[in-house]
Chains A and B, each alone.
Chain A
Amino acid sequence: MPRTRNFYLQLGFTLLVCLFLIVPVVMSMVAGVTVNFFIGVKSGFTVRWIGEVWSLYSQTIFRSMLIAISCLAVTLVVGVPTAYALAKRPGRFTRLIEEFLVMPVAIPGLAIALALIITYGGMREFRTSWLFILVGHVLYTLPFMVRSVLAVLSSIDFRTLEEGAASLGAGFWHRFFQIIVPNIRSGIIAGSLTVVTLSIGEFNLTWMLHTPTTMTLPVGLADSYASMRLEIGSAYTLVFFVMIIPLLIALQRFGTPGGPRRARIQEEVGRALAPAGGQAAP
């Protein structure tokens, strides 16, 4: 079929929009390895800025990883059973719980952070530890894990699978770990990737919750933008990209159409992610 003029117009427009979004990203990454950004690339390339970022901010990178992994652990331990319980007893009460769970996504991160500080700020040890930030991250990411697992649970007839296992003599724990968990693996993986990605990139909450000794990567970014040379801030961004992009690609992978079930999961996860739009990256 010959392509019409319209097609090329649309293609051109799409490419233009892509460029509009991608060029700043590339510029920022280039700036991070340029000797002097005001002179331009002709000043030469260097890894000096990355080295500086490492010496200044490596702690924030490790802390972000620690928080992301802990956050994942907590959301797995809490979120998967919660999703299972919600799926098992659908009703008005469980809808209510689901709504409460999702609320932190809708409420501005700053408001949640403030509430946490007002309530627990007096507990000095807790307030100054990274665990305080972890609590905020768990509140914020838990609904994504629950939703993602719930989506898969509602797409399989898990009740009958469980009854089948029970008829063969399997008690609850056997059924849960040998039948339920393996069959909702795709939802757990998609949820895990979402949780880790959101936690690493979280800024709103963390900015309020952090103390000078508990800075995370995105908060460190803001700090470097405000107080360092542009090249250092850009190099820092580069480090952030290196961490977050593989996660985003993995997230995309799990959403690639591979059958009706996959597509459905993708759709559900997409819906769950939608309200978070701009918060994934600062």
Chain B
Amino acid sequence: MSVRASRKALAAFALPGCITLGLFFLLPVGAVMSGALTDGGAFVRLVNDPVFWNGLKGTLVLGTAAPLFSLIVGFCIALTLARLAPKARTAALIAISLPLTFSGLIVAYGFILLLGRAGFVTLLLAKLGFDPAVIGGFIFSPFGLGLAYSYYLVPRVVLIVLPAISNFDRNQLIAARSLGAGAGRALIDVMLPQIAPSLVAAFCLTSAVAVGAYGTALALVGTQVNILPLVLYSKISETGTDLPAASAASLVLIAICVLIISLGEAVGRKGGASKVTRQN
């Protein structure tokens, strides 16, 4: 029994939320799952579809490259922020977190202007003698998409990794160096093991976000790039399509995300790092 509220009151409080999640989350997801599982041939048709395999390959590349790149950049940013004075750090953090709420569309169009076929950087590099067709094509490849994704993945990395770095006692580095370790050695031997859980958690979260998102990709390239969400999107938005096969593809997408997130939870739990923000 709690003094703060009776069990009945608490149940009544939780009810609207449970109904909302039940009706508008569990029911739709359940429908997708049953759609895939009731039609025995759905998975067979999916695995015989070369488009699916290409999409899966693209998604795995994107789901590894984008978070890895974001992790490296985010880690460096967090290291820099940790050394700033509190006020400057707060200001920088607010600026960095802005993209978290930006629509994927804003990012997409911004990158078209920056790196598209007639983008600012593309034309700038063209003046230096680079082939604009190659530079301009980059943003439409899975790696280019990864770069655009990192626009809103890096802030997530920073928000997860920064607390771990801030809580890390820097005297340990000084102690390690006084014991004879070089600066880089001290970082790798002393700091990295302690903040590793938050790094893994950040990687897993951003990876799951990158695997599931489609808005930015759709705005950038239409359905021309082979990633699983876009394959699924074209299946869903075309009429008269094979819905059970689309359900099966959805299930694969969910499975990948759940796998990555469980890994992150298992490792992040140990390190006590946990922070989740929505995907774009």
Task: Please say whether chains A and B are actual partners in one complex.
Answer: no
